[in-house]
Copies of this chain bind each other. A is one copy, B any other.
């Protein structure tokens, strides 16, 4: 079985750096826990002063409340089918939700406890949210929300996810500056509410330096990083804190390739283009032949790449460089393209020290 290895030292360093950057910029820090989905990894954030978190579902919110978190933003436009869950949880913790449409308000008339909300503001990503320029739309939503007892407007939330679409610094800067300016405009326009501005995907929070006008950042992926973040310039190879340990189970020629046990049910089918080809992962070293990771995976090689995956099968191409020293049964460490989806599928981590770390999805 493939094993998702976690380098705890790198993970803690990633946490420390992001918490330090938030403190340096005078920002609150509400990390997104959808990446690791683990009570134990989440608890490591407390050493860096974190007391409020972000999640992407009520299932996750319930899990983290059970491990003691008391201030949770469910960063998803409110789904009316979650009303019972919201009522169950909002008695035990301070729960915030996102809204981007007045049609969700009638469902919230049945709130049992006070709930905060943020307006999801779209600064150009185009996934969810009210367009940040649509002052009338936002005002209508805020006005309509006044009639809903127990629902309290706290500010604006922006996920500028189009930061994932380009590694070009000029494009990334324009995306960030527009989001920052949009949030500043909204804070000014609706200053009578004294609203907060919440912001932050991992690329912008890792790369950008000017956070004027922003109050709180909510990145998630930075806790592990991955090949996609590396390509975007959010991290160095040495910052990537998870790798999949997979057994080589086949070696082939013409073309030269290897089969690993590690497929779409382990890595996910998230792909990216590297060196002109679609890849699902990249080899970053082998273990020491005793099932232990010798040196972690500090040094990225220029491949081989995981270029094909089906349900349980993974195919590594261009294996010439590792062919001589890699036999059937050897374990390779493979960096994932998207650590959030990989962690969600794997359900548990094994640290380099050999400790097992559980998640929301594990069955224990």
On A, residues with C-beta under 8 Å from B are 1, 34, 56-57, 59, 76-81, 100-101, 103-104, 107, 127-128, 131, 161, 247, 249-252, 254, 259, 261, 264-265, 268-271, 308, 310-313, 315, 327-329, 331, 340-341, 344-345, 361-363
Q: In chain B, what residue has the closest Cβ to A308? A: B127
Q: How far is the CB of A315 from chain B (nearest CB, A)?
A: 6
Give the residues in chain B near A76, CB-CB below 8 Å.
Answer: 249, 261, 312-313
Given contacts A250-B100, A310-B161, A329-B107, contact A264 B259 (CB under 8 A): no
A80 lies within 8 A of B128 (CB) = no
Q: In chain B, what residue has the closest Cβ to A80? A: B329
* The 3 nearest A-B residue pairs measured at CB: A80-B329, A363-B363, A103-B328
Q: How far is the CA of A57 from the CA of B263 in the complex (A)?
A: 11
Choose among B59, B250, B254 the residue that contacts A128 (Cβ–Cβ < 8 A). Answer: B250
Q: How far is the CA of A190 from the CA of B265 in the complex (A)?
A: 36
Q: How far is the CB of A223 from chain B (nearest CB, A)?
A: 14
Given contacts A264-B270, A269-B270, contact A56 B311 (CB under 8 A): yes
Give the residues in chain B near A308, CB-CB below 8 Å.
Answer: 127
Q: How far is the CA of A186 from the CA of B254 in the complex (A)?
A: 21
Q: In chain B, what residue has the closest Cβ to A363? A: B363
Q: How far is the CB of A334 from chain B (nearest CB, A)?
A: 15
Q: How far is the CB of A188 from chain B (nearest CB, A)?
A: 24
Q: How far is the CB of A37 from chain B (nearest CB, A)?
A: 10
